[in-house]
Amino acid sequence: MTTHYVDIRLLPDPEFSQSHLMNALYAKLHRALVQLGGGEIGVSFPGYCLQPRALGELMRLHGTEQGLKKLWALDWLRGMRDHMQHSDVLPVPQTSEFRNVWRQQFKTNAERLRRRRMKRKGETAEQAAAAIPDSIERQPDLPFLQVRSSSTGQFFHLFLTLSEPCARAQSGTFNTYGLSPSATIPWF
């Protein structure tokens, strides 16, 4: 259960866009959560907006006081300090709204899916094309971060979605991206 939080606000920068800085900040967070082993720290973006699609300038970390202090002890913000400000570890204010923040994956490339099917099932290009039409592709309309996986080293878009508000907190664990489809974070 998340009882405390830390706000990290990006500062305007003439050389880097807000999204570039947020991607860099999130990459540092991901590496720190991998080092900690994940599970305890959740992340949210209070400026999350679908129109226009954006995450905003504020990243909020959620966890227990001890968990957040353990994260802070890693000095994971090295290199970002000139580009952001952060709060102390603070207790969560009374709120009656909770949400989940998790990754939404999309089938965005029919050609890649066809190649994968051909390799997996030994099908011809024509068979794979018949099984996977172009119409399967979906243009994502969610805010996203561009991140590099610590396990595979590959870059990908991490599309984020929010659950509808709920009145009760749900316990659970967060992954090494600070996301969970089951554990809620207080939304304020």
Catalytic positions are 30
Q: What is the C-alpha separation between 146 and 13, in angstroms, rounded?
A: 19
Residue with tokens 């709060």: 87
Task: Output the 3-class SS for the chain.
Answer: CCCEEEEEEECCCCCCCHHHHHHHHHHHHHHHHHHHCCECCEEECCCCEECCEECCCEEEEEECHHHHHHHHCCCCCCCCHHHEEECCCEECCCCCCEEEEEECCCCCCHHHHHHHHHHHHCCCHHHHHHHCCHHHCCCCCCCEEEEECCCCCCEEEEEEEECCCECCCCCCCECCCCCEEEEEEECC
Q: What is the C-alpha separation between 29 and 37, in angstroms, rounded?
A: 12
Q: What is the C-alpha separation between 152 and 154, in angstroms, rounded?
A: 5
